[in-house]
Amino acid sequence: MVTAVRGGIIVTSTDQYNADILIEGEKIAAIGKNLSYRADAVIDATGKYVFPGGVDGHTHFKAPFMGTVTTGFETTVGAIIGGTTTVIDFVPQSEGAGLVDSIIRHREESAEGKSVVDFGLHATVMDSRNSIFEEAPNLIKEGVPTLKVFMAYKGTPAYSSDETIFRLLRKAKDIGMLVMVHAEHADIIEVLRKQMMTEGKTEPKYHAMSRPPVAEAEATFRATMLAKAAEAPIFVVHVSCYDSMLRLRGARMEGISAFGETCPHYLILGVENLSRPDFEGAKYVCSPPLREAWNQEKLWEAVRNGWIQVVGSDHCGFNFKGQKELGRDDFTKIPNGCPGVENRLGLLYTYGVMAGRLSLGKMVDVFATTPAKIYGMYPQKGGLVVGGDADIVIFDPDWTGVISVKTSHQGLDFNPFEGLTQKGRVEKVLLRGTLSVDAASFVGNPGQGRFIKREPYGLAYAVSYAK
Ligand code: URP
Ligand code: ZN
Ligand code: ZN
């Protein structure tokens, strides 16, 4: 099958130009003007932007968390309708199981045959007593060169000590693995949480007050120092605030290979949302928490200037009814995490590009290209590259609408971005050459997503420590 995408404005992380794209089978075969071809199908993209399919390096599908489970990979329909063609999903190590076994199980039982987008998997340490250090090379063999540790949640199996993280970092650099950290100071949070509950402060807003920016900034700093000591790269997920971003930026200025991600909810939503009446604040409970609004402009600046390199969704498909509600009398029982896999591109375009905060190229970079490079799947994913997968988004810049759960496809009963204006929308998406979204509706096949084996030594290894 030969498909041509004709007449669009191609936007990559580095260039913007008018050209046609020729697709043969699953791959991009040629990009250029006045290409001569005989195509089986021609897609007219005149007046539209043509972006690479998005890479969302931070999702939680079918993830057990706080006594409940997020929605499954069937709901990746939301991802593809939002222009994301690849997700990298975090796989929590199952209790008593190894990292590799947990990965294989998640892949076979949760993702394969269900996901409509291609997917990679990150390992997540949930039991550092197990043989995680010996397992790391086998993760690489499985195509999983990334592994997350939690500096928060002391007293639970999820918590990793500094010793564990330092040892992992040293192991990681020998094999090209990237250690990702959830950076929050466990002890500060535990003391504040207990104090709030003792004082009868049980509402959602106290979730944020028990996890102050200083707790995140300290842990971010410590993570970068551990990386420096190990001479290994480090990646800080979901940077929520100015203080934390400053530590990350400071580390890079010092020559440490420190990279980081923020999320649309930290760029756009403020902590005041946790005070919404009728327990609606629970919809906005995530960790790290939403911050005072002034942080948002600082985070946009960081994305614009490359101090934060990736915008991932940290998508957690919890419903309000029956899930977020679990913490009605106790904020510590509200499942942490917000949905957003569908809205990443629309929000970056509206509140980034159209608001003059990001260039189109930078938007593509943080949405698709740099995540693919950092996580070890470029140029197969994340770019418009001859020989790469034909994952292509055709975007209508003239559309204007309002985000609403009523028109969302994430399989949930709320959308945290409800009521926000969106400018531009995804009109068509091709996944490996197959038209999967047309007129903003899903037209692909259930379970069409494929597991993507990723390579070690991603972009974070391009910053080397001076000897
Ligand atoms: O609140 C969040 N972010 N939930 C998902 C788990 C994590 O820490 O990323
Ligand atoms: Zn986290
Ligand atoms: Zn997460």
Give residue-wise pLDDT tens across range 129-178.
768 999 999 999 999 999 999 999 998 989 999 999 999 999 999 999 99
pLDDT for 405-433, tens place per residue?
999 999 999 999 999 999 999 999 999 99
CA nearest ligand 1 atom 5, residue: 337
User: Which of 314, 323, 331 to probe ligand 1 with, by most ligand atoms within 8 A of CB?
Assistant: 314
- What per-residue confidence (pLDDT) applies to 464? 80
Q: Which atom of ligand 1 is nearest to the CA of 58?
A: 9
Tokens representing residue 234 in the block: 């480090």
**44: β partners:** 6
Measure 168 CA to ligand 3 centroid, in angstroms.
20
**Which residue reads 């949405």 in tokens?**
367
Average pLDDT over residues 52-72: 98
- What per-residue confidence (pLDDT) applies to 142? 98
Tokens representing residue 149 in the block: 């540790």
Task: Give me the residues near ligand 3 (ion), CB cutoff below 5 Å.
Answer: 314
- How many residues in total does the chain contain? 467
Measure 287 CA to ligand 1 centroid, in angstroms.
5
- What per-residue confidence (pLDDT) applies to 34? 86
Residue 350 Cβ inside 6 Å of ligand 1? The answer reads: no
What rounded mean pLDDT belongs to the chain?
97
Q: Which atom of ligand 1 is nearest to the CA of 237?
A: 9
Q: How confident is the model at residue 465 (pLDDT cuts 50, 70, 90)?
A: confident
Tokens representing residue 109 in the block: 């039982």
- Residue 128: is its pLDDT beyond 90? no
Q: Which atom of ligand 1 is nearest to the CA of 336?
A: 1
Residue 182 Cβ inside 6 Å of ligand 1? The answer reads: yes
Measure 35 CA to ligand 2 centroid, in angstroms.
46
- What per-residue confidence (pLDDT) applies to 5? 98
Give the other-Cβ count within 10 Å of 114's Cβ. 19
- Residue 93: is its pLDDT beyond 90? yes
Q: Which atom of ligand 1 is nearest to the CA of 286?
A: 1
* CA–CA distances in Å: residue 298 to residues 239, 295, 414, 420, 461: 11, 5, 28, 21, 27
- Residue 318: is its pLDDT beyond 80? yes
Residue 89 Cβ inside 6 Å of ligand 1? The answer reads: no
Residue 75 Cβ inside 6 Å of ligand 1? The answer reads: no
User: Which of 56, 238, 285, 332 to probe ligand 1 with, by most ligand atoms within 8 A of CB?
Assistant: 238
CA nearest ligand 1 atom 4, residue: 337
User: At CA 97, angle to CA 96 and CA 103, rounded to 5?
Assistant: 150
- What per-residue confidence (pLDDT) applies to 466? 64
Measure 465 CA to ligand 1 centroid, in angstroms.
30
**Which residue reads 């009605």 in tokens?**
328
Residue 139 Cβ inside 6 Å of ligand 1? The answer reads: no
If one compares 34 and 221, the residue with the highest pLDDT of the two is 221
Q: How confident is the model at residue 463 (pLDDT cuts 50, 70, 90)?
A: confident
Question: CB within 8 A of 108, min separation 6: which ones?
Answer: none
What pTM did the predictor assign? 0.98
- What per-residue confidence (pLDDT) applies to 129? 72
Q: Which ligand has its closest atom nearest to the C-alpha of 334?
A: 1
Q: How confident is the model at residue 452 (pLDDT cuts 50, 70, 90)?
A: very high
Measure 317 CA to ligand 3 centroid, in angstroms.
11
Average pLDDT over residues 105-110: 98
pLDDT for 34-50, tens place per residue?
898 899 999 999 999 99
- What per-residue confidence (pLDDT) applies to 323? 98
- Residue 467: is its pLDDT beyond 90? no
Torsion over CA: 421, 320, 147, 84 (sign):
negative
What's the start-to-end Cα distance of the chain, in Å? 51
Secondary structure in 3-state letters for the chain = CEEEEEEEEEECCCCEEEEEEEEECCEEEEEECCCCCCCCEEEECCCCEEEECEEEEEEECCCEECCEECCCHHHHHHHHHCCEEEEEEEEECCCCCCHHHHHHHHHHHHHCCCCCCEEEEEEECCCCCCCHHHHHHHHHHCCCCEEEEECCCCCCCCECCHHHHHHHHHHHHHHCCEEEEECCCHHHHHHHHHHHHHCCCCCCHHHHHCCCHHHHHHHHHHHHHHHHHHCCCEEECCCCCHHHHHHHHHHHHCCCCEEEEECHHHHHCCHHHHHCCCCHHHHHCCCCCCCCCHHHHHHHHHHHHCCCCEECCCEECCCCCCCHHHHCCCHHHCCCCECCCCCHHHHHHHHHHCCCCCCHHHHHHHHHHHHHHHCCCCCCCCCCCCCCECCEEEEEEEEEEECCHHHCCCCCCCCCCCCCEEEEEEEEEEECCEEEEECCEECCCCCCCCECCCCCCCHHHHCCCCC
Q: Rounded CA gap, 251 and 23, in Å?
A: 42
Residue 314 Cβ inside 6 Å of ligand 1? The answer reads: yes
Residue 107: closest CA among 451, 404, 461, 462: 451
Residue 122 Cβ inside 6 Å of ligand 1? The answer reads: no
